[in-house]
Structure 1
Amino acid sequence: MSVSLPPRGRASASNPHNRFAPTRSVAEDDGWFQDETPPSRATEVRSELAKTVITRNNSPDVGFDRSLNPYRGCEHGCIYCFARPSHAYWDLSPGIDFETRLIAKTNLASRLEEELQKPGYVPQPIALGINTDAYQPIEREQRLTRQTLEILLRYKHPVHLITKGSLILRDLDLLGELAGHNLISVAFSLTTLDDELKRIMEPRAASPGARLRAMRTLHEAGVPVSVICAPMIPMINDMELEHLLEAARDAGARSAGYVLLRLPLEIAELFEDWLQAHFPERAVHVMSLIRQSRGGKNYDSRFGTRMCGEGPFAELLAQRFRLASRKLGLDHRDTQGLDCSQFCPPGAQLSLL
């Protein structure tokens, strides 16, 4: 089976049509180009004037009811990213387009303030950077995540952050001040300690060592940090689970979670192509274990099972996680949570005069 390699610095080797595309075309190799070195692919960033920026959800599988994403698409390029199918809504491919054709919500700051100032707004922690990473490389220039944190600090609004980007240390001043008011928690997504596996699986995300150093720095600055081992992929990185948890504990994590690989919609095809390109000798076995954990399918979207799967492999993984978390002291949860009582839109006091 002939499988194409991805462009340099990217995870996806293809740009499949999105599920809404009305027509489809197929490229055929005529033999004229024999260069085995894949070309590079530049990142394009377009601006969007968003109508709203706070997204609501009622999923019982996640611990928040609202989230905010400064960007659409993600330059980190993680091959397994569950957000890839969302690019289809902009008539873009969940493949290389998701990694290279990015959208920045340039009016995010003004829209966020408008939504926080609405009469009757009731604060609950906002999850920042859920669908795509708020600290992906384009944040260096766009600074939308920093603008968001500045607003949330000014309004004393609680926020949960999840990232695999070391750029988060740029905003240590804001994060430290938020932590001083019990308004922030930060979770690092950690998938492997193997730099080579990281390179092909999450090409533009921070290295494992950089993530652990960032975690340690935040911890030492008084910012509460946790780790999410996600996703755990059968026969690819699941054997690292206990080592990941131990490394995170040593870096200051005080709690942990995990997610079994999810392959909704177009991701299944992209992931199988990636397996064939990098792990052809075990691709069939990997997919077999995934399907055994998903009721015989590539993905099972049911609440309650979509994050952890079911069946022998999924149950063993869950058991390993419980035992390791308990041994390392990562199995407790902060029952107090973040403080929503301090929320106060600037100028709100004037209404009492």
Structure 2
Amino acid sequence: MISTISAKQIVATVKQDERNLLSLNYNMNLYRGCSHNCIYCDTRSECYGIGDLLHIRAKENAIVMLEKELKSKRKKGSIGFGSMHDPYMPVEAREQLTRRALEVIVRQRFGVHIITKSDLVVRDIDLLATISKVYATVSVTITCADDALSRLVEPGAPPSSARFEAVQQLSQAGIRAGITLMPILPFINDTEQNVTAIIDRAAQCGAAYILPYMGVTLRDVQRDYFFQKLDTHFPGIRERYIQLFGNSYQALSPSHASLMKVAKERCRHHGLGMQVPPFEQPMNPQLTLF
């Protein structure tokens, strides 16, 4: 289901502290809802008030408001796409809110950090290449090296192989791209083989960095939906989650320490970073008296 809504604000300022792992100065969401329908999606949580995740609502005034809000910003910075929805879910092919937002950002000379599970991002390589002269990075989320497993846990998203190809095309175009290796689901994809395969393939595709998290967060409606899908696709694992994690928000893999060690070693081996370089404000040329 697709409809439109009006937004009161588009660009939000991101708090600058040690938890800002994505190096964002601002963040925005051009849609509500997400058709990628990942079984673990945190956006289902009650605190966000999204409701039916598959009911996609395009913010009809988003581009006008974005132009207005960016003009009023005294400080340039990196704008995040993809915190509450995927900016390149299938509806974007028709609505083109993400592409039109990038056109505004080109004019206003801000940076971007795009987080996506879709190879549709390569459509906008022309704009991203221009923005990269200021600051651009694209983090492609890949949680499963195996396409069959990715289709189970991320049923509405392109398979992992298509995402790796997108990373390669972005990198070949000179756009910094990396992998968000998260979430890692305990007892499902939390294996050394999976983590190693993703990092090795990312390096082959020209990725610049890996952002790993060896666990998943779970709460209220999100947890209930996730458990339903575990019963469907991974019988018996729900009981292991309940026994080990109870109602805890953070569900780290029992192997998270060893998996992080593996990730660090593989990244070091390939020369991959494990953080996103921050946006740096361009220096104004100093005026001289003579």
TM score, norm. by length of structure 1: 0.73
Are 2:32 and 1:84 equivalent residues in the alignment?
no
Counterpart residue type for residue 110 of structure 1: V
Q: Which runs of 5+ in 1 are unaligned?
A: 1-43, 301-305, 344-353
Q: Does structure 2 conserve the Cα–Cα contact (< 8 Å) formed by 1:73 and 1:87?
A: no
Alignment of 1:31-46 (within 5 A): 44-46=1-3
Matched, 1:107 2:67: no
Q: CA deviation at 1:252?
A: 0.9
Partner of 1:347: none
Flag the 1:108–1:197 CA change in 2: closer, same or farther, 3 A.
same
Q: Percent identity?
A: 29
Query: Is the Cα–Cα contact under 8 Å of residues 157 and 342 in structure 1 kept in the other structure?
Result: no
Which residue identity lines up with residue 57 of structure 1 in the other structure?
A: V
Unpaired runs of 5+ in structure 2? 285-290
Residues 63-88 of structure 1 deviation map (CA, whole Å, 9 limit, x = unaligned):
32421111111001111111122686
**1:89 aligned partner, one-letter code:** G
CA contact 1:322–1:331 (8 Å) conserved in 2:
no
Separation (CA, whole Å) in 2 of partners of 1:171 and 1:287? 43
Residue 318 of structure 1 corresponds to 260
Q: What is the SS of the residue equivalent to 1:257?
A: strand
Name the structure 2 match of 1:198.
150
Q: Give 1:298's aligned residue.
A: 248
Query: 1:165 is matched with which residue: 88, 95, 118?
Result: 118
SS of equivalent to 2:226: helix
Deviation at 1:129, TM superposition (A): 1.5
Q: Displacement of 1:282 after TM fit?
A: 3.3
**Contact 1:70/1:134, CA 8 A, preserved across alignment:** yes
> What is the CA distance between 1:122 and its match in structure 2?
1.4
| 2:77 counterpart of 1:124 | yes
Question: What is the CA–CA distance in structure 2 between the aligned matches of 1:112 and 1:273, rounded to whole Å?
Answer: 38
Match of 1:13 in 2: none
- SS of the equivalent of 1:169 reads helix
Flag the 1:111–1:268 CA change in 2: closer, same or farther, 3 A.
same
Instruction: State how far apart, in whole Å, the 2-side matches of 1:271 and 1:69 are.
Output: 24
The Cα offsets for residues 130-176 of structure 1, whole Å up to 9 and x where unpaired, read as: 21100001001110000110000111111111111111111111112
Retained in 1: the 8 A contact 2:10–2:65?
yes
Are the aligned partners of 1:133 and 1:162 in contact in 2 as well (CA < 8 Å)?
yes
Residue 108 to residue 342, structure 1, CA distance change in 2 (3 Å): farther
Q: Equivalent of 2:53, from 85, 89, 98?
A: 98
Which aligned pairs between 1:230-245 and structure 2 lie closer than 5 A?
230-239=182-191, 240-245=194-199
Task: Give the structure 1 partner of residue 163 of structure 2.
Answer: 211
Query: CA-atom RMSD, angstroms?
Result: 2.2
Secondary structure at the aligned position of 1:227 is classed as: strand
- Structure 1 equivalent of residue 106 of structure 2: 153
Change (3 A) 1:54 1:85: same
d(CA) in 2 for partners of 1:76, 1:218: 21
Instruction: Please say which structure displays the higher CA radius of gyration.
Output: 1
For normalisation by structure 2, the TM-score amounts to 0.88
SS of the residue 1:154 aligns to: helix
Instruction: Determine the structure 2 residue equivalent to 1:341.
Output: 282
SS at match of 1:80: coil
Contact 1:228/1:257, CA 8 A, preserved across alignment: yes
